[in-house]
Structure 1
Amino acid sequence: MLLQIRHFIYDAMKHIVEQHGTARYRLLHNVEVIFYLYWLIRISIIGLMYLDSDQFPLYEYDYASAFVWKHRKICNKFFIIIAILLIMTVLLGIRTFYFHHVDTISFQIPYDCIVYNTDQYYKSQDTDENIAKKLSQRFENYQQQFARNHRLLSQIIPIANRVVSFKVWRDSWLEMDRVDRNLFENQNKMHLFPYASFKGRTYILRFVMIADALSYFSHIIGAMIFMYGFYLWFPELYYYEMVQNSWLLKLSLIIEVILFVHNAFVSIQCAMLLSWTMLSSYQAFHSGLIDLNRNFISILNDCRYNGKSIAVNDIKKLFFIYRQHNRLAYYVIFPDQDAWSQALCYYALVSIPVNVTLMCIIIVEDLPGQLESVYILITLIHAITGLIPFLTTAQVSSAFHKIKDYIPAMQIQLNRSTHLRMKLKYDDLYERLMHGKKIAFTFGYLGDLTYRGLFEAFLGYFVAFFLIIGFYMKEHQDQARN
């Protein structure tokens, strides 16, 4: 578990890339794997009770088995399956993030977006004098605008000043008034996205800052939930007769509670790493593709509607757009094949049954209010951390293929002999976009991570839901008869 929670996503990516391979790094994450393997074995052994409770009466000797067996209406065999699948998912996350080579662009892209771009931001801070001038000028402009638009309220000076001051604070943060724009754009560029616009880089910066804040509060809320759970369930475990009669079991209980909290936080951190790294990369890809598509359409509209012919500068811009489009496509295809495709495939195969089973428990079981809230919270967190990153990556794929709608019209405008080379390049690009492999992340062999792929996965979710709920209802009826 990483303890730098104040700026978690920044510190986590810095830790993964810069400390990878060190003795401390290997020790930390090998221990995490050992802890999770221990829990996998522990829960699998507890699951033996559900196969044959007479042959494996573990509840007579083990406090955890006794606790689960006592609450078996809630902690049924499907609950055990969920726990095993979640542990396997976290092991997959640990393997993907902490045991993969970091010297490829698979990790250099999120590092460039999250760490390097943030470092360049702090290196490009403007002087205090210039910042004060910007804020003063912004305050004066907003004050005049407020006086024009709200004459009556502007007479109430305290209210007017508070409103204007808030707008100045908000917009100065959104527009990065504390940055020397010339230094940030022209000297302190990103490594892998050197042509990223100022607007695109500020989007990434704001996202990283918001992600760090959300991660910090998620850790705090998680700690509060664990404290509440400790208050509810630890006394019950501690006062089992078998625990009271053995100091060894008391020590074991305390150690396992600590391990449970540690492993739970590791799972939360893996979920946040998956979400934040994919979303930060999305910001870089999406803003870059938006700029390329907008410039391409601008050149086309100048030719079609303004009667301009394609000049030498336009050819240079078209060549730049073509080259950058290919470069960004490589930034998607190689990391997908190198690291993310297999991980996303396993994540999808494990996550869909987990989410479906959680839904079955919420729908079918008569849960106490507090426990039902916990299940709903877990289900929502699991769904959101998986769905939002996948939707954003599908949006990136859509942005990659948007340019194909305008290439045929551009080909008509490239009607000179000097345009032949450019015409052939865009003809090749059009062919690849129309009939080639999709420029998108993939679910391994399951398909492409596009809107169509997500729709097919959504249909698969419903199929899995009805299959699993059928088994769940049958199991529930068998338990009721017994």
Structure 2
Amino acid sequence: MLFYFRHFIYKAMKHIVEQHGTSRFRLLHNTEVILYLYGLIRLLIIGLMFFDSKTFPLYEYDYGSKYFWNHRKILNKFFLIILILIFIAGLHGIKTFFYTHVDTLSFQMQYDCIVYNTDQYYKSRDTDENIAMKLSQRFEDYQQQFVRNHRLLSKIIPRFLVNHLFRIRVWIDSWLQLDRVDRNLFENQNKMRLFPNANIKSRKHVLLFVLIIDCFNFIGHIFVAISVLIGMFFIVPELATTDIVRNSLIMKFYLFIESIIFLVDALLLFQCIMLLFCSVSAPFQVFHNTLKHLNQKFYAISENSRIGKPIGANELKELQFIYRQHNILCYYEIFTDKDVWSQALYYYALVSIPINVTFMCELILEDLPKKTRFLFLGLTALHVLAALAHVTSAFHKIKDYIPAVQVQLNRLTHLRMKLKYDDLYERLTHGKKIAYTFGYLGDLTYRGLFEAFLGYIAAFFLIIRFYMNGNQTS
């Protein structure tokens, strides 16, 4: 478990890339794996009792098994399967982030988006005097605009209330518009390493994402820790009253150690979830906004040529820039997918499908308390990856505008550019999708997500009968 609760995603990615391979890094994460494997083995042992309680009457010897057995109406074998699969998913997350080589493009891209861009922001911070001047000017502009556009309201609403609302808006816009940095320095000198031509909107969005998500990560760590502690407050006293624990000082100490281990495992699982979410979302901000910017520039050239404006030297340079940047981004996505994320998402899908299906069976067929239902619904919602499919759509959007530009590339000097875009059009239309993949399961596109949804439905009807038969026999 990484103890970077305040700025988790920034410091975690910095830790993964910069300290990978050090003795401290290996010691920390080897210990995590041992503790996590202990929790998984503990659940598997309890599972033996559910699958054959006569051969393995563990509720007579183990306080954990006894607790599950006493509450088997809710904590049944299907609930235990869910916990085991979640632990397996967490173990795969540990392997992906802490036991994968970080000197490849996959992690360097994450580092560039999450760490390096944030560092460049702090390097580009403006002086306090200039920041105060910008905020004051923005405040005055808002006041004048309000008086000009809403004269009656400006006389009715108390001035102190209006000024207070404007101060809030100025504070928010100062972050959204990057008033706190020297924009010229940030855009032209302190660039990203792998995305040196990323537009300001891309860098701003990924920066704000990192700053905001770190606040939520801090709150999330506190929430998970408090939730586990509250659960222990109700569960541990019941475990302590069992004959197995009450009559043995060693078992009391063992119960205390296990409580700490499962608290660490819960926080570690949360950290793996957040690392996966941020590893998907941070590059998404750069990919999506950069591709959107390139598509808009290409569309503008297409529209200008359609109304009769000839394609000159400047337009050819723009087309060359768009073509080159599109190819670079395609390479980044395809290589990182093959390097790390394809296999990671493949195992993630293999684990998440039975988890979601079992969740739905529990929700539909079991008489669960409302709080438990909301918990299951929340866990089910964690498996949404539509953002990656949206990036795939942005990669292929440019092909809608290429034919119109190809018609206008009718000079001999345009031949080379015409052939390049003809090749790009063929690749986008008839070639393999430029998309993240679920390993051998398929591409992560909107169509792929729809097919996965149909797969969920098919798996649900296949498992629900087994689930009902299992409940009847138990």
TM-score range, shorter chain: over 0.9
TM-score, scaled relative to structure 1: 0.96
Task: Give the AA of the match of 1:385.
Answer: L
Residue 134 and residue 114 in structure 1: after superposition, are their counterparts in 2 closer, same or farther (change >3 A)?
same
The 5 Å alignment of 1:25-424 reads 25-155=25-155, 156-305=158-307, 307-367=308-368, 369=369, 372-380=370-378, 382-387=379-384, 390-424=385-419
SS in 2 for 1:38: helix
Query: Partners in 1 of 2:465 and 2:54 — Cα distance?
Result: 27
Kindly indicate whether the alpha-carbon contact (under 8 Å) linking 2:126 and 2:180 is maintained by their aligned counterparts in 1. yes
Query: Partners in 2 of 1:133 and 1:15 — Cα distance?
Result: 37
Structure 1 gaps, min length 5: none
1:362 Cα deviation (Å)? 2.2
Q: Write out per-residue CA displacement over residues 63-85 of structure 1, whole angstroms, 9 at most, x where no aligned residue.
A: 11111111111111112211211
More divergent stretch after superposition (433-442 vs 468-477): 468-477
1:375 Cα deviation (Å)? 4.8
Task: Give the AA of the match of 1:373.
Answer: K
Kindly indicate whether the alpha-carbon contact (under 8 Å) linking 1:94 and 1:270 is maintained by their aligned counterparts in 2. yes
Kindly indicate whether the alpha-carbon contact (under 8 Å) linking 1:303 and 1:413 is maintained by their aligned counterparts in 2. yes
More divergent stretch after superposition (176-185 vs 308-317): 308-317
Task: Give the AA of the match of 1:386.
Answer: H
Kindly indicate whether the alpha-carbon contact (under 8 Å) linking 1:196 and 1:288 is maintained by their aligned counterparts in 2. yes
Q: Write out per-residue CA displacement over residues 256-301 of structure 1, whole angstroms, 9 at most, x where no aligned residue.
A: 1110010011111101111111001100000110111111111111
Match of 1:7 in 2: 7
Picking from 421, 439, 443, the partner of 1:444 is 439
Query: Partners in 1 of 2:333 and 2:362 — Cα distance?
Result: 38
Kindly indicate whether the alpha-carbon contact (under 8 Å) linking 1:146 and 1:164 is maintained by their aligned counterparts in 2. no
Match of 2:467 in 1: 472
Kindly indicate whether the alpha-carbon contact (under 8 Å) linking 2:363 and 2:376 is maintained by their aligned counterparts in 1. no
Query: Partners in 2 of 1:427 and 1:69 — Cα distance?
Result: 66
Task: Give the AA of the match of 1:28.
Answer: L
**Sequence identity percentage:** 62
Q: Write out per-residue CA displacement over residues 15-53 of structure 1, whole angstroms, 9 at most, x where no aligned residue.
A: 111111111111111111111222222211111112221
Kindly indicate whether the alpha-carbon contact (under 8 Å) linking 2:94 and 2:272 is maintained by their aligned counterparts in 1. yes
| Structure 1 runs, 4 residues or longer, greater than 4 Å off | none
Query: Partners in 1 of 2:86 and 2:401 — Cα distance?
Result: 45
TM-score, scaled relative to structure 2: 0.97
Q: Write out per-residue CA displacement over residues 301-357 of structure 1, whole angstroms, 9 at most, x where no aligned residue.
A: 11111x211111111111111111000001100010010101101101101111221
1:359 Cα deviation (Å)? 2.1
Query: Partners in 2 of 1:466 and 1:261 — Cα distance?
Result: 35
Query: Partners in 1 of 2:54 and 2:375 — Cα distance?
Result: 35
Query: Partners in 1 of 2:138 and 2:52 — Cα distance?
Result: 73
Query: Partners in 2 of 1:109 and 1:222 — Cα distance?
Result: 29
Coordinate RMSD, CA, aligned: 1.2
Q: Write out per-residue CA displacement over residues 407-461 of structure 1, whole angstroms, 9 at most, x where no aligned residue.
A: 1111111000111111111111111111111000000000000000000001111
Query: Partners in 2 of 1:225 and 1:316 — Cα distance?
Result: 57
Query: Partners in 1 of 2:249 and 2:294 — Cα distance?
Result: 68
Task: Give the AA of the match of 2:380.
Answer: A
Q: Write out per-residue CA displacement over residues 171-199 of structure 1, whole angstroms, 9 at most, x where no aligned residue.
A: 11211100100000000000011011112
Kindly indicate whether the alpha-carbon contact (under 8 Å) linking 1:208 and 1:280 is maintained by their aligned counterparts in 2. yes
Query: Partners in 2 of 1:41 and 1:127 — Cα distance?
Result: 56
For this pair of structures, how many residues does the alignment match? 472
1:215 Cα deviation (Å)? 0.8
Query: Partners in 2 of 1:249 and 1:89 — Cα distance?
Result: 30
Match of 1:430 in 2: 425
